[in-house]
Amino acid sequence: MGAPIAPVTVRPDVRLETAPMSPVSCDTCGAAVEARKSSWEQTSIQWHAADVERCLERRAAMPPRIEGTLFAGCVSLRQALAKAVERGDLPVLADD
Amino acid sequence: MTTAPDIPRQIEADPIAQRYARGWHCLGLSQDFRDGQPHQVLAFGTKLVVWEDSDGELRVLDAFCRHMGGDLSQGTVKDGNIACPFHDWRWGGDGRCKQIPYSRRVPLRARTSAWPTLDQDGMLFVWNDPQGNPPIAEQAIPKIPGASSDEWTDWHWYSIKIDGSNCREIVDNVVDMAHFFYVHYSMPTYFKNIFEGHVATQVMNGTDRGDVAVPSDDGSTLLAVKSTASYFGPSFMIDDLVYEYDTGNFESILINCHYPVDTDSFVLQYGIIVKKPQGVSDEYASASAATMGDFIKTGFEQDVAIWQNKARIDNPLLCEEDGPVYQLRRWYQQFYTDVDAVLPEMTERFEFELDMTRPAEAWSQEVAENIARAAENESV
């Protein structure tokens, strides 16, 4: 389409330089996500497309292609994250 | 542990690309374009003309006539077409030249740019796409149930042009938890973001600050404010906003939308509808929508003062209590990227829930000090 496409660059979160995301899998569906906990109450979760498809709660809550419906999050994954913290697989920054 | 070298951090900002976001943009309330006159809209670095055709459809074309460059927005509507003030060439809403009164026939390829439109819930939208593709069906603007219901008020609408600022600044508000306390007089108690596909959501609960008057019905007490706000595409946010008072709930829908005029200015528009409380006159309900709108206006005006004086910054320095600015901008970048070059990470689901413990402590204390100071001043 004429003009060359500028290279697409996306800057990473500066906070990840010192404390990156950690891989965690859900015990229920096996979805693999990356997570980061700033504190017990503060969590980031990065999903990937295939794992969103795998999530059972998501499937139950949200038939695809309904506009405007919000899936607030997966309770099973939340529990899996808590267990990962207990196992020491998911660091909690505020505890350092 | 190694210490970082003690040098000042530099603000970085790449040049702004001369490109406008792909997606639906709301131009305003439909009714404001339905007076039989052509309307000029400066948007996307160009000039558009908007008018109502003979079928009652709102139409949008490039304003510059492809004949000799006349400004169609200075023309007139004739037989449902737009007539150029320069030589009276008639352009249809489909972008084709329909007639040249002084010529036997219309030349070949007499076609201009017609912008896809959507007239929904009382608002007019245009689809912008630098690649020229038709609207993406999955990115349709959701219908707002209250907007077409007698149980809700009409739109109370605001429009303001903001010079000297790029529209990315307002989109940043989605994640900027702390500024809601400092700039919008809110007291956030819960904050979460979810980005997925073309939708970016902010869930924010708040409470009464105590040091700033919040609009309320005849002395009732505000218990909580609950807001779920989503951008559907790059510029149109629907905020499901409920004020919970001891006397009952005040339900509203707030629209927060904008369109770029050019890369250094944009038109911010916001509007509110309110569910009419039981046993209350329509006039009273409309007045309460206006009161709420004016309160929100104060916050936006303070945003504007910040935007017009701040630096554009691509490498913000963040603390842990800040929201996911980088991830939001990664999401926002999809609208400035050719469809086939959009990276998976721009649209893949991302969740961020903020720990409000420390902000709540700090702000409770600040509010208490403000109240104490105000009481002291009163007693003097």
Give average pLDDT by consecutive 10-residue segment, chain A, 96 residues: 56 95 96 97 96 92 65 95 96 85
* B120: containing domain: 23-139
Instruction: Give the rounded percent of residues in chain B with a pLDDT score beyond 90.
Output: 82
**CB of B118 within 8 A of CB of B236?**
no
Within an 8 Å CB–CB cutoff, is residue B10 touching chain A? no
Q: Is residue B101 part of a domain?
A: yes
Segment 40-99 of chain B within 8 Å of chain A by CB: none
Instruction: Give the rounded percent of residues in chain B with a pLDDT score beyond 70.
Output: 97
Q: Which residue of B has its CA nearest to A64?
A: B138
Q: Which residue of B has its CA nearest to A77?
A: B351
> Is residue B201 domain-shared with residue B286, that is, in the same domain?
yes
Whether the pLDDT of residue B14 is over 60: the answer is yes
Whether the pLDDT of residue B218 is over 60: the answer is yes
Whether the pLDDT of residue B10 is over 60: the answer is yes
Whether the pLDDT of residue B185 is over 60: the answer is yes
Q: Is residue B145 part of a domain?
A: no
> Is residue B205 domain-shared with residue B258, that is, in the same domain?
yes
* A60: containing domain: 21-95
Q: Is residue A35 part of a domain?
A: yes
Q: Is residue A15 part of a domain?
A: no
Provide ipTM, 2 decimals: 0.92
Which residue's structure tokens are 């009732």?
Answer: B220
Identify the pLDDT of residue B154: 94
State the average pLDDT over residues B310-318.
96
Q: Which of B40, B16, B37 is nearest to B267 (CA)?
A: B40
Whether the pLDDT of residue B375 is over 80: the answer is yes
Inter-chain CB proximity A67 and B344 less than 8 Å: no
How far is the first Cα of chain A from the last one, in angstroms, to the nearest whole number? 52
State the average pLDDT over residues B247-271.
95
Tokens of B310: 């701040």
Identify the pLDDT of residue A4: 46
> Is residue B216 domain-shared with residue B329, that is, in the same domain?
yes
Three-state secondary-structure class, residue A22: strand
Q: pLDDT tens-digit profile of B17-73?
A: 899 999 999 999 999 999 999 999 999 999 999 999 999 999 999 999 999 999 999
**Angstroms from B182 CA to nearest CA on chain A:** 22
Whether the pLDDT of residue B1 is over 70: the answer is no
Whether the pLDDT of residue B147 is over 70: the answer is yes
> Is residue B225 domain-shared with residue B256, that is, in the same domain?
yes
